[in-house]
Chain A
Amino acid sequence: MKLVLPNPGLDQRIPNHEDLDRMEKEEVDDRPKWDNKAQYILTCVGFCIGLGNVWRFPYLCQSHGGGAFLIPFLILLVLEGMPLLLMEFAIGQRIRKGSVGVWRAINPYLTGIGIASMLVSYLITLYYNTIIAWIMWYLFNSFQDPLPWTQCPLNENRTGYVPECQQSSTMDYYFYRVTLNSSASIADSGGLHWPIILCLLAAWTVICICCIRGISTSGKAVYVTAILPYIVLAIFLIRGLTLRGSLSGIKFLFTPDLNELINPATWLDAGAQVFYSFGLAWGGLISFSSYNSVHNNCMQDAVILSAVTAVTSVYAAAVTYTIIGFRATEKYDACISENIRTLLNTFELPEGNITTSNYDEAFNRLNSSHPDTILQLDIEICNMHKLLSEGVEGTGLAFIVFTEAITKMPGSPAWAVLFFAMLLCLGLSTLFGSMEGVVVPLKDLGVFPKKWPHEAVMGITCIVSFILTLLFALQSGIYWVTLFDDFAGSVPLLAIGLVEMIAVVYIYGADRFNEDIRFMIGRKPNIFWQVTWRVISPLIILVILVFYLVTQAQEELTHLVWDPDSEEFPSLSSVPYPSWINIIIFLLAGVPSLTIPVYALCRLIFVSCKKTR
């Protein structure tokens, strides 16, 4: 198909195949290189496998029909994720530059794509590292017995616990009050919370040291950060399966409900999860594959990476739900025991008269004989389904549900250390990729003088970022993190991904791209890749983007807050955003997306001004 837009001067901007072979043989350029293929694969796996695989995918799986969710997930993985992945790998390996360099080489008017990728990567890095700082706080606090989130502080006359802790739970109190000291809304900034500042400092210095020399340091760090999560997940799987109630969790997760397949939201969520999980449009993958040798088999890499991501998502979901099942069973048993105790005390029956096995019939018997007393007692109905579905995504899963489950296991500090070390590694390996997607474009754009060593560039970036993330150390920090997560990490990525595909297929030229891949790996991509690149993948991303924009525009802007004075306490209450939030949302989502056309326009004006002069 000859549908290509005119693109003059392309051959002058990129090295041709003979030059590439010559550069490979003589090793002329001092570009960094991978020590071995394993380092490259581990870095990409670490980048793709992040916190979302532990706390977003299991929730999507369970809420969209369990095992049935795997069908749209796998279909969209193959039709949307793999083609985009191969495209980013191949274009990076061919043009051998970071994201800004690649788009500038394809067409100088497209440099905006690279800049947009850099902006989005940077915004995501800022709030992601804050979550890493929270994980570090929990990790540092896991080295004690009893764990600090098992205890409530006492009130003044030592007869009871602090009311905020009494009404909610020790885990909630520890997260929202002790760790974050959260205020009641995003408008109420409060002051800086110094434990978070210290943890942010720790997080940024760890990132700095791991990335300080680019892939020569981060490539060594991934041996730990990419492999440790798998080992810890295996340990938790074995521990989880030996706990009571774990199988009810697995059953709840994987029980298929095929009716969900008709719901369009299922397919949209699956598509969005595939897109975000692969780290597409961040620019990091293009950078990483540009350090490969020219004849590296990127097609094989793309397929391997897709398979590893799919398997790991399911594996992490299974482990997560064994633990969730255990916790739900424990809470259900505690609820039933509490009800039995209330009944025994009220009706003065001997102990052992009502047990868990005859609870239902005893309750019905007493209810029919003394309905008024029973009503007065306000007995809570123990609902296993509700316990299995509460708080199972996002930070709630890690910091509240899992921490509670860990406190019920014998030897809790060890399990807490393992769990938070795993989350830390998952987050760090993703951050290596996003820092690559920030620092390399900065160097390409010439923001820093060329003489400066990579260490200085990385150091300055980390220091500036640390100062910017002090925003998240405010008492309203968690609401800012949620805001960034909702708007910076969603729409811009989809827009950039769409433009990337169109640029490569229709501006660079799909035929030229096929020839490049034949040069690099020895065979032309088959009909599957052709069809997905040209039609299917861009269409899928366009549909997801449009639906996303439509739903966002229709929704009222509210956020969930921790407000001890509200009526719904201890549930999070829904509070509307203040009006100035629209400016912030435009800055987060609009500016990166609009960089692409605005840069092209500015360049057009600049060039035509130069011509007329």
Chain B
Amino acid sequence: MLEKVLFLLCLTPALAQEPCFPGSSHAYKVRISIKTALGNQAYVWNDNEMYLFRAAMAFALRSYHNGQEFNVSNIMVCNETPRVSFWFVVSSPENSSVLLKKGDVENAIRKSRNRINGAFLLTDQTLEFIDIPPTLAAPVMPVTPPWLIVFGVVMGAVGAGIIFLLVSSLVQSKRKKNKKTLDEDREDMRGIENGLGCDNLGGVYNTTFSDGDKFTPM
């Protein structure tokens, strides 16, 4: 009986010291890919960077929960791997044995995601919080679809071209018709110039063979 009580007494502080473990209902996994993001300019991940991470988390929680003063000590990290991935839990500033619910932590991170990314020169894809999907940027859509503008330009040009061609062909056919009538007139005139117009022969009108009715009324 005494051993059981002693065992339980020893276990409880041990448990209290290990609130952060993989798969905990309050813990989030973080994965950081510095080399993928920065290539040659990659920095080395060490304890200082980890301190910056915890400070950034505290900042995010402070901005989300106005008034509650989160400290670096409230952010507990465990299971760090060479991949650079680890789990963390957040404890409440008033009572360090109470862990914050996942939902609250998620909202805080979502709100300040850009700032956290900026602190490490990383992006949503290279600083991953597993189970927190990044809010995707909406696709860029300009106000007037550009294709309508190009379409309008093309149709305008083609329409103008068609009208121009039709008008020019009408003008041409009218000119041809005028030229044709002009040619016809000249044809008629040629008959009078070259040949002998009956009216211009000169001579006297012989009244003997005209109708003499006007002289002898019956």
Q: Give A contacts to B, CB under 8 Å.
A: 137, 139-141, 143-144, 146, 151-154, 158-161, 195, 198-199, 201-202, 205-206, 208-209, 212-213, 217, 341, 344-345, 348-352, 453, 455
Contacts and interface: CB of A to CB of B under 8 A. Distances in A.
A201 B142 CA distance: 24
B151 interface: yes
Nearest to B165: A212
A428 to B, nearest CB: 12
Contacts of A344: 83
Contacts of B82: 348-350
B20 interface: no
A70 B120 CA distance: 57
B135 interface: yes
A139 B148 CA distance: 11
A361 B202 CA distance: 123
B169 A151 contact: no
B151 A209 contact: no
Contact of B155 (A205, A213, A455): A205
Nearest to B42: A351
Given A198-B151, A345-B83, A455-B165, A144 B142 contact: yes
A137 B136 contact: no
Given A205-B162, A209-B161, A217-B165, A143 B146 contact: yes
A159 B165 contact: no
A205 B158 contact: yes
A612 B36 CA distance: 93
A151 B139 contact: yes
A298 B73 CA distance: 92
B83 A206 contact: no
Contacts of A201: 155
Of B84, B133, B138, B150, which is in contact with the most chain A CB atoms at under 10 Å from its CB? Answer: B150
Contact of A209 (B36, B140, B149, B165): B165
B35 interface: yes
B163 to A, nearest CB: 10
Contacts of B161: 209
B81 interface: yes
Interface string B163-194: 00110010001000000000000000000000
Contacts, number: 84
A205 B159 contact: yes
A44 B15 CA distance: 87
Contacts of A453: 169, 173
A201 B159 CA distance: 11
B31 interface: yes
A351 B133 contact: no
Nearest to B130: A345
Nearest to B161: A209
B154 A202 contact: yes
Contacts of A198: 151
A208 B162 CA distance: 8
A202 B162 CA distance: 13
A453 B172 CA distance: 13
A161 B83 contact: no
B85 A348 contact: yes
Nearest to B149: A143
Contacts of A352: 35
Given A140-B154, A141-B146, 13 more contacts: A139-B150, A140-B146, A140-B147, A151-B139, A160-B133, A201-B155, A205-B162, A209-B162, A212-B165, A217-B165, A348-B82, A351-B33, A455-B165
Nearest to A417: B150
